[in-house]
Amino acid sequence: MGETARGVAVTRVRGGVRATGVDRAATEEPLEVRLHGRPFAVIMRTPGADCQLAAGFLLAERLVTSPDDIGTIEHCTDPAADHPENIVDVTLVGADLERLLADRRRIITSSSCGMCGRLTIESLRADGPRLPCNMVVTPRVVNALPAALRAAQAVFEETGGLHAAGLFTTGGRLEAIAEDVGRHNAVDKVVGRMLLSEALPLEQYLLFVSGRTSFEIVQKAFLAGIPIVASVSAPSSLAIELALDTGITLIGFVRGGSFNVYAYPERVTAESGE
């Protein structure tokens, strides 16, 4: 596995005084995802959990729906390949590869882009019924999410430059966490881990992310069956629309003991005694 952070030269200016030193920067490198040995996507990411990232990405791209669809997923074993540590090869079970790729193009996904492989916006629209409203969470649990996620961010502590995604139980226990230069990648890593563990759908969990909540993050949550998505920042208008369409409770601005609920507030219950 590659380094998640690297030493870099830095000039610090404090009170008009300059001083040179060494800092730690979050690593960003390309990960090439191959399908049956054929290049499919290049994802700019922080090294680590690469197979989980690839699995979560393929779920979001709807090339797989369960771990049974994946035959093998592993780093490149070709000794002649350049940087095999940055290549993951996936084989799909019983797949008509040409048909699966018909409405997609080979893509480069930046660390800020979550679903760049689709040819049309309409193809991003969610498939399937709305998620059922069979779980609830209390304000106390929601308000505790930022601190719980932050405490588990080991690489952020070192660099200050990574997003994170955490999968929590309704009681506030952190089940899985991933860090990456891209918040979409962090979500894919968390979802991919659970996919490969045969734990989908994630109907009894909530997803908490650093940064804003985009359409793509809500889409990834829906495909994984996650009914509650929360973040420290604002959701986009399209994220709110998709949450309303898919039955996802969308929570934003979780900070300082308060938050806003933009869709399906009935999943956020009053504390006992209130």
Q: Give yes or no: residues 154 and 197 share one domain.
A: yes
The total number of structural domains in the chain stands at: 2
| 155 shares its domain with 226 | yes
SS3 content of the chain, % helix, strand, coil (to 5): 30, 35, 35
For residue 169, the domain's CATH number is 3.40.140.10
Domain of 108, CATH number, reads 3.10.20.10
- Examine the domain organization and report whether 45 and 118 are in the same domain: yes
Pick the last residue of a domain from 124, 153, 187.
124
Q: Are both 144 and 251 inside the same structural domain?
A: yes
Output the pLDDT for position 249: 94
CA angle, residues 36, 38, 40, in degrees to nearest 5: 105
Neighbours of 63 (CB within 10 A): 20
Measure the CA–CA gap between 261 and 274, rounded to whole angstroms: 18
Please report the pLDDT score of residue 182 as a whole number.
Answer: 86
pLDDT of residue 155: 66
Same-domain status, 83 and 149: no
Question: What is this structure's pTM?
Answer: 0.84
pLDDT in tens, 7-64: 878 767 666 676 888 877 778 888 999 999 888 888 888 899 999 999 999 999 888 9
- Report which residue type is found at 27: T
Same domain as 143, residue 98: no
In a domain, 195, yes or no: yes
pLDDT of residue 214: 87
What is the SS3 assignment for 150? Answer: helix
Q: Same domain for 250 and 190?
A: yes
- Domain assignment present for residue 160? The answer is yes
Structure tokens at 114: 């979550």
Q: Could you tell me if 109 and 157 lie in one domain? A: no
Q: H or E stretch including 40?
A: strand 38-45
Paired with 31 in beta bridges are 43
**Cis previous bond, 201, omega within 30:** yes
Do 209 and 101 reside in the same domain of the chain?
no
- pLDDT for the residue 120: 40
| Residue at 272 is within a domain | no
Catalytic residue list: 113
Q: Which domain holds residue 35?
A: 29-124
Quote the tokens at residue 257.
């003991």
From the first residue on, what is the mean pLDDT of each consecutive set of 10 residues in the chain (274 residues)?
Answer: 76 72 82 89 90 95 91 90 90 81 55 47 59 91 95 71 90 94 92 96 95 89 96 89 91 92 90 54
